[in-house]
Each structure stands twice: as C-alpha cells, then as structure tokens.
Structure 1
Amino acid sequence: MAFTRALAKYRPTRRTARGAGAAGAALLAAALVGPLASPAAAVVAAAAGHETGLTQAMAVSGPLAERIGHQADNQQQAADAKKAAAAKAAAEAKKAAQAKAAAEAKKAAEAKKAAEARKAEAKRKAEAKRKADDERAAAKKRAARSAPRVSPNAFVNPIAGGKVTTQYRSGGAMWSSGKHSGIDFAAPAGTPVKSVGSGTVVTAGWGGAYGNNVVIRHSDGRYTQYGHLLSMSVSVGQKVGSGQQIGRVGSTGNSTGPHLHFEARTAPGYGADINPLAYLRGKGVGL
C-alpha cells in the first residue's frame, strides 16, 4: 500500500486503539475477500480505514494495540525506576560524603584539642618548675642572709650539734696505749663530717685501727684527725675551708658503732696528740 505523504509519529491511545481495531478488521476483510468480491464490496471495506494524518493507514487490531500500550507503559516505568534509583544512589553518595567529611572534621578537631591540652600541660609544668626554682633560690638567699657570718679562719664543731661521748685520755682496753687519744662524737652513720678549720689535707685513706681517716694541717701548725669514717670526700694535697665537708660518719676500723673519733695533734702521726677539747675551745668552739 502506498502513502501520499510522510508518516507522522503516532502513539494510539486506548480509545483510538479500540476504534482502530474495528476499522482494521474491516480493512483486513477487504484485503482477504478482494479478489473474490466485487469492487463495490472492496470499496465499502476500505472505507473503514482510520485517518491519522496519512492519506490512508492500516489500523491495528485491539489486542495488538493493547500489547503496544503495555510495552510503552513498561518502558516508561523502567525509565522512571532507573531515574529514581540513580537519584537515590546520588543522594546516598552525598550523604556518605557528608558523613565522612564530618568524621574527618571531628577527628581533626579532637586532635587539635589534644595538642592544645598537651601544650597547656607542658606550659603548666614549665611554670611550676620555674616557680619551684625561684622559691628554692629565694629560700637559699634567705638562709644565706640569716646564717651567722663565719670568718674563713674561724673554727667550727666537726659535727653540727655534736656532743662528746668519750673524753680525752679515758682509760680502757679498747685502745692499744690504754688511753683514749682523742674524743668521740656519737652520730648516725652517714652524718656529714666537717673540717674544724681551713687547711691542707695530708692524709686521706685507711688508717688501721682508725679505719678510713683524714688528717688536716692548719695554718697554726697543728693537725686534726677524723677517724672511723664511712666515706671520704677529699684527697691528699687538697685545700679545705673551715666547715667544709670532708667525709661521713661511719664505723670502720676498731669501732663498736657509728661515731667520729677526733684528735688534735702537733704532728700528723699517731702519738702526737694534744687535748682536742682544749684546742677547739681555744679556737672559740663551744663544747
């Protein structure tokens, strides 16, 4: 069948599809019976054709039109579903991106807060240390100001606050000569022992029955000896000042317990002893 003008796009509605079904049936009947019937019958049959913008068009039967309509509806529904799925996926992706960005921002904020806390703690500790150092320095200055001024040549007690427990020339089997050659100061082990005056160390080491001992020569030509020491903090030839620590109280050598054995001598060795109490008192030490 020939057309006298171009075909136009056309999608029949359900109503036109039903109308076209009857016309299509008539046209089909004309096509089938045409060779057998008269020309007049063919014209009548053809008159049932449907005008669609064409000079003459073939109508579609009802069931076929419905199938075409259903197919078009299904295609539209599929397109709508695909579009909705794409929109949903995009929304979910956006939501996930926003959640990730929020989590990263929270993590960054927490890290910044922790860093600031560490910085603040370090600053607090530094400030506390500076304050403590300042307080110690101030206390040291106050102590220095309040301490009695002692002349470099003044004599002091060999043990701060120490008291004599064994007198000079006391008798007993403890001493090889039968007499005590010095005086004893009872004190706990580890108590600092000081030089009674300025001078030069002439002995610093093991002294037999005296254990660890130190002997110092003073500017007046006299010597002082410190025995039974736990430890010594000076060496031979060293210059020491009045009140300078030279060791610690111990119980080394011929000793029955921690104490300081102190002697005053006219010479550095044993046997040159003089009364140590008289010597110290003569130097202004109150004992």
Structure 2
Amino acid sequence: MALTRPTGKHRAPSRMTRRSATIAGAATIATTGVCGTLATPAVAAETGTTASMEDTGTTLILAADAEADSLADEVADQAATQQRAAVARVEAAEEAERRAVARALELREAEVRAEREAERKRLSAFQLPIAGSHISTGYQTGGSLWSSGSHSGIDFHASYGTSVVSVGSGTVVEAGWGGAYGNNVVIRMNDGTYTQYGHLASVGVAVGQAVVPGQQIGLAGSTGNSTGTHLHFEARTGSEYGSDVNPVAYLRARGVSL
C-alpha cells in the first residue's frame, strides 16, 4: 500500500513555505524597523572585534619594533665595545713601542756614556814607555857619565829597534836631535807635566802632533851620550832641563806599576 503525506494541521510546512516565511519575516522586520534595532548590537560587536584585532596588531608591531630597537642597540653596543677594544689595543701597542724606543735610546745613551768614559780613562791613563821592560839605571844615580853628576832620569832596558811609546796623552813639543840625549822626543802631557824619551834610534812623530797612551813615538837605540842601547826616560815639571822629578814616583802616582 502506498504511503501518503499527512494532511491538515499536522502537516509540516514545505521548504517553499519556510523560505516564503523567512522572506516575509525579513520584510516585516525591514518594515517595522526591528531590523535596524537588532542590527545595532551585531555591528557593535563586529566593530569591537575589529578594534580589538587592530589593538592586538598594533601591540605586536610595537613589540616587534621594540625588539628590533633593542637588538640594534645591542649590536651598536657590541660594535662600540669592539671599537673601544681596538682603540685600546692600538694605544697599548703605541705605548709599548714608545717605551721600547725610549728604552733603546736610554741604552744607547748609556753605551755612549760608557764609551766616552772608557775613552776618557784610556786617554788619561799612563803606562810604561817600553812594555815589559825594567829599570836598568835608577834616578839620580851618581857618576861621571852625566854632566850634572847624577842621572836626571831612569833607563829602561831595551833591544835595538824596540818600540817606544808615549806614556800618556799629550802634544809633542820637541822631536829630533837633542845633543847628549841623541834623537829624543819631549811631550807636554795633558796634565801639564812633561816627559822625555832619549837615545832613540829613530823618531816617529813631529812637533805639534797629539799623541795618546801607547802610541809609538820612536825606536830604542843608542844615540847621543850613551854606552849602549836603552831608553832614557825623564819626567819634568817644565820643558827646561833641570826641572826633572823622580820618574818612578811620577809613573806610580798615575797608576803605573814598576
């Protein structure tokens, strides 16, 4: 048996009927203004939601900007720190270099002073006129060999041609033949005293020449009033004969051992 749709008041409204009712209701609402009244809360709610979303977006943007600024500041601080460190390293290197240069200059100045002092000592030093020799005739020894009756100097043992040197620094005031002294050299020493070297085989310096300790001035011989090869050495307070002093005491007072 075929089923049939119920009729009467128990029949459900058709789709068309529901659609028509909906349209009609919408029309009624539009006519009575209820739609406007009902729409206001909806619009308000939508507006509030939109505002909330905008606030949230703004907050996120501001937070992002703040984070970016913070990162930029951190990077800038790191860069500044690195720059300060680099500057400090450069300044430290420059200071180290300056100190090294100053130290080198100090050392060089000390070396120069030491060299000058050593040279000063060398030039002011005295030594024997013949290295390794010994005295063969003493000072003021008496005898007919000397016109004054005594020896005005001391004699140093020497072989012919042995090098004779200046005992100290000074200037040659006499060089050549000296009568009884034979070939001789007289030097005015830098301290104002005089030294004489007699009976030389040959003379190796000239008047006016500056000499230093140990500089060769001639060769030992037996010229003049001499009985054999030797060096006659005198120390004087002046250039004239007769101003002689004890050569041994003279040399010892100036640091020479004999």
Q: Name the residue aligned to 2:141.
A: 170
User: Within the alignment, does 1:211 sit opposite 2:185 as a pair?
Assistant: no
Give the SS at the match of 1:221. Answer: coil
User: Within the alignment, does 1:184 sit opposite 2:183 as a pair?
Assistant: no
Q: Name the residue aligned to 2:254.
A: 283
2:198 to 217, 224, 227: 227
Runs of 4+ in 1 over 2 A off after TM superposition: none
Please list every run of 5 or more consecutive structure 2 residues that lacks an aligned counterpart in the other structure: 1-117
Give the SS at the match of 1:152. Answer: helix
Please tell me the root mean square deviation across aligned C-alpha atoms, in Å.
1.4
Deviation at 1:152, TM superposition (A): 1.8
Deviations 1:221-280 (A, max 9, x none): 100000000001100000001110000000000000000000000111211100000000
Give the SS at the match of 1:281. Answer: helix
- Which of the pair has the greater relative contact order for Cα pairs under 8 Å at 6+ separation? 2
Q: Name the residue aligned to 1:74.
A: none
| Residue type at the aligned position of 1:188 | S
| Residue type at the aligned position of 2:249 | A
User: Counterparts of 1:23-38 in structure 2 under 5 Å?
Assistant: none
Deviations 1:118-139 (A, max 9, x none): xxxxxxxxxxxxxxxxxxxxxx
Identity of aligned residues (%): 67
Whole-angstrom distance in 2 between the partners of 1:169 and 1:203: 24
User: Counterparts of 1:230-245 in structure 2 under 5 Å?
Assistant: 230-245=201-216
Whole-angstrom distance in 2 between the partners of 1:277 and 1:268: 19
Please list every run of 5 or more consecutive structure 1 residues that lacks an aligned counterpart in the other structure: 1-147
User: Within the alignment, does 1:196 sit opposite 2:167 as a pair?
Assistant: yes
Whole-angstrom distance in 1 between the partners of 2:123 and 2:174: 22
- Provide TM-score, normalisation by structure 1: 0.48
Whole-angstrom distance in 2 between the partners of 1:199 and 1:170: 28
Q: Name the residue aligned to 1:152.
A: 123
Give the SS at the match of 1:151. Answer: helix
- Provide TM-score, normalisation by structure 2: 0.53
Whole-angstrom distance in 2 between the partners of 1:238 and 1:280: 22
Whole-angstrom distance in 2 between the partners of 1:268 and 1:250: 23
Q: Name the residue aligned to 2:132.
A: 161
| Residue type at the aligned position of 1:253 | G
Give the SS at the match of 2:249. Answer: helix
Deviations 1:93-132 (A, max 9, x none): xxxxxxxxxxxxxxxxxxxxxxxxxxxxxxxxxxxxxxxx
Deviation at 1:216, TM superposition (A): 0.3
Deviation at 1:151, TM superposition (A): 1.5
